[in-house]
Structure 1
Amino acid sequence: MNIVLLGPPGAGKGTQAKLLREYFGLWHISTGDLLRKSIADGTKLGSQAKEFIEKGDLVPDNLVVELLKERLAQPGIEKGFILDGFPRNDAQAGILDAMLKKQAIVIDYVLYLEADEPIIIQRLSGRRVCKNCQQNYHVTNMPSQKDGICDTCSGLLYQRPDDREEAIKNRLLVYLRDTKGLVDYYKKQGKLLKVDANFDAPIVFDGLKKVLL
């Protein structure tokens, strides 16, 4: 089973991807993680991507697709995967399909996590991140034992600038603008499955299992 996971920031894609991976035994392929690892390892693709990131530019689609290609060529991929972070628009979806076709890989389902704006704002504005180890916390849902201090490494917790309310609203506007065509693209293919992500993670996961099983 091969899945593309879509949803606005704050919909809980990372949490649900982890639950799907554990329950179904799938690989979780995050393009963000692939980029970070490739840059940290100093690979050729990572070095090329780093140049764009340091200039504040988006990493070109062809580089992201090449990273995905390498990952999908590794042994064990036949178990199935969850793709998170790509595609972000219908043009990228077309590029992805062309690459997968060459590798005889088919996307079975596209899961779209839907969440209302007030829920997303509550989730993201309450998020705190450790400056040292990047561990995530939430001021109400998952607070650290000591206020402002990471339980894991005692690093300082902070609020990312893009987790402030005005920034979240802007991110949502951009996301909805860019993904409208993407949703239509997969709807036409008959692969799109929408799931209500306004609830706590276990309830959302139950919804995912219902549409998949």
Structure 2
Amino acid sequence: MFNIIFIGAPGVGKGTQSAFIEKDYSIAHIATGDMLRKNIEDGTNLGKTAKSYMDKGELVPDSLVIDMLNERIQKDDCKNGFMLDGFPRTMEQAKELDKILAKLNRKIDAVIDIYASDEIIIKRLLNRGRADDNEETIKNRIKVFESQSKPVLDFYKDKVKIIKIESVGTPEEVYAKIKKELDIIKNNGL
């Protein structure tokens, strides 16, 4: 079993790199946004509750996201492991995740901290052409991400191997760096 947390700012390439990791390591890619949408689409009780918050323009409470995640990581496609994308985003979420994993006798094996300069991220996101991707909004999203992710990285630094990867070069070049580090951890059971 191989469990990974993937941390990176919007536009840094997590989606692209996640697809490579999912394929090579046969682990489930769990993006919290997708998980929320799936529960809403499937009409689960958790999904209905989440939708009631979202319909009011409110954030879905951590406790609800954690309940969904707890349910999700126990599904069959997670038996070889999972990669969390977009979770944990806060210290509280990281602590709750630790509790869940302890109950399931599982652990996080690695945290991938993928990064790029603000200039690169802004350029990538502006090139995506989404309506909500203007320079001011992007800069704010980067600030929010940095303020939230630093404490989470600090939380894990003494618990698991943190792999710092600069997202510069082709997607394949970036992935080669990630794969090299993941293979060392997987093969050595670190």
Q: TM-score, normalised by structure 2?
A: 0.92
> Match for residue 13 of structure 1?
14
Which residues of 2 match residues 163-182 of structure 1 at below 5 A? 163-182=133-152
CA shift, 1:211, in A, is: 0.9
> Match for residue 210 of structure 1?
180
SS of 1:188's partner is: coil
Give the ranges of 4+ consecutive aligned residues of structure 1 lying more than 3 Å apart after TM superposition: none
* Residue correspondences, number: 182
The answer as to 2:131 corresponding to 1:160 is yes
Superposed CA RMSD in Å reads: 1.1
| Bigger helix share | 2
The answer as to 2:37 corresponding to 1:67 is no
Measured against aligned partners, the alpha-carbon deviations of 1:100-122 in whole angstroms (never above 9, x if no partner) come to 11111111000010111111001
CA distance in 2, matches of 1:10, 1:81: 21
Which residues of 2 match residues 36-115 of structure 1 at below 5 A? 36-115=37-116
CA shift, 1:52, in A, is: 0.9
CA shift, 1:76, in A, is: 4.0
CA shift, 1:190, in A, is: 3.5
SS of 1:101's partner is: helix
Structure 2 unaligned segments of length 5 or more: list them.
184-190
SS of 1:183's partner is: helix
CA distance in 1, matches of 2:97, 2:44: 22
CA shift, 1:78, in A, is: 2.2
Q: TM-score, normalised by structure 1?
A: 0.82
Structure 1 unaligned segments of length 5 or more: list them.
129-158
> Match for residue 187 of structure 1?
157
- What percent of counterpart residues are identical? 43
Query: Conserved in 1, the CA contact under 8 Å of 2:109 and 2:160?
Result: no
CA distance in 2, matches of 1:8, 1:198: 14
Higher relative contact order by CA 8 Å / sep ≥ 6: 1 or 2? 2
